[in-house]
Amino acid sequence: MNAATGRRPRTRHARLLVADASGRVSNRTHRDLPSLLQAGDLVVANDAATLPASLAGVHIPSGSAIEVRLAGHSSPAWAGESATAVSFTAVVFGSGDHRTRTEERPAPPRLRVGDALLIASLRARVVGINGHPRLIDLEFEHSTDDTWEGLARHGRPIQYAHVPETLAIWDTWTSFAAPPVAFEPPSAGFILDWSMLSHLRQRGVRFATLTHAAGISSTGDPELDARLPFDEFYVIPASTAILIELTKAEGGRVIAIGTTVVRALEHAARETGHVAGGRGLATGRIGPDTALRVVDAIVSGIHEPGTSHYELLRAFHREDVISSISEEAASNDYVAHEFGDAVLITRPDAATASLAA
């Protein structure tokens, strides 16, 4: 399996590795996706746009150069929370940028509550340390509009050494990206463009979205990486909740585009088994022992064993099927990571009584 090194290879020639309900694995392309779905199925995608969440700055007390990577929202207005200042949780790196592997980045100076930071031309303050010296709560000391101006104009998308070219913000937005609340791209959504949405509609496949603030996928610090994914806010529109109910009632399948959609829907349904519209804070990990209650199939990137994304895929099928997907991806040089190829995994017990059946 290769790490993706080129930008945006996906919509033109991304490949799709398909594991059906019986566990049979086949090699397709992303253009085949509509033909693999049926009338009555519901595709649910995460419409979060990606923030320019990598902010170059200075730790004022020490004068050291730092990179701040925004990693979580604290009481965000978009999720119905009331806040007087724009605030985030963030992972802090020492000097340098994405071209150095995160594991090899120098550590930031010692950070303390009350420290002033100058980031993205904005004044900010450390208001909390989150059980790890590099994981902070920060608050911007500007009006909401002025804070957003600084972030929008001076932030850069978070990226990693496996894509050395500097990404533009538009490289990280899906076709249907809407509110700018994700810290890294909900990249499974790259598979959908407006033409494919139109093909899906023509096939009688419904489309809905939720907004999930996808967090960072890696920090390079083993202790922090073990805590990923961080808690993530989500909002499920009432219209999406209704379409899920309708789809279930008619025997259609719910197809999640990306791990964040699984995380939001399964969190929302954790108590009743039904998805109610509204906001929530997704916590915890999904893994092989998680009983999925809403999502029947997932489209996701190719993930390497040991990552939280890979663990989530294990909730969808038997161990031998997930293993054979990994082997097939490796032997066919599938491209891993956010700008690479994709998998479609359908649960063995997924609904089969779709309208077309």
Partner 1 sequence: MTRTNLQPLRVAITGGTSGLGAALVAELVGRHAQVAFVARHRDAIERTRRQFPDAHGIVGDVARKDDIHPIAIQIVAALGGLDVLINNASSLGPVPLAPLADTECEELEIALATNLVGPFRLTRTLLGTLAASARNGGHPLVINISSDAAVTPYPTWGAYGASKAALLHLTRIWDAELAAEGIRLVSVDPGDMDTPLHALAVPDANPATLKRPHVAAREIADLIASTVITPGVAYRSEVLL
Taken as a whole, the chain contains a residue count of 357
Give the shortest CB-66-to-partner 1 separation in angstroms: 22
Separation in Å, CA 296 to CA 128, 288, 309: 39, 15, 17
Give the shortest CB-41-to-partner 1 separation in angstroms: 17
Q: Which residues bind partner 1 (CB under 8 A)?
A: 47, 49, 51-52, 77-78, 144-145, 148-149, 151-153, 169-170, 173-180, 194, 197-198, 201, 208-209, 237-240
Q: Which is nearer to partner 1, 129 or 197 (CB)?
A: 197
Helix (H) or strand (E) holding 175: none
Give the shortest CB-114-to-partner 1 separation in angstroms: 27
Q: Which is nearer to partner 1, 19 or 275 (CB)?
A: 275
Tokens of 32: 């085949």
CA 193/CA 175 separation, integer angstroms? 6
Tell me the β-bridge partners of 291. Answer: none
Give the shortest CB-207-to-partner 1 separation in angstroms: 8
For residue 140, give the DSSP letter.
E
Phi, psi of 18 (to 5 degrees): -110, 125
Quick count: other Cβ atoms within 10 Å of Cβ 96?
A: 14
Q: Which is nearer to partner 1, 255 or 343 (CB)?
A: 255
Q: Which is nearer to partner 1, 51 or 325 (CB)?
A: 51
CA 283/CA 243 separation, integer angstroms? 24
Give the shortest CB-26-to-partner 1 separation in angstroms: 31
Q: Which is nearer to partner 1, 170 or 223 (CB)?
A: 170
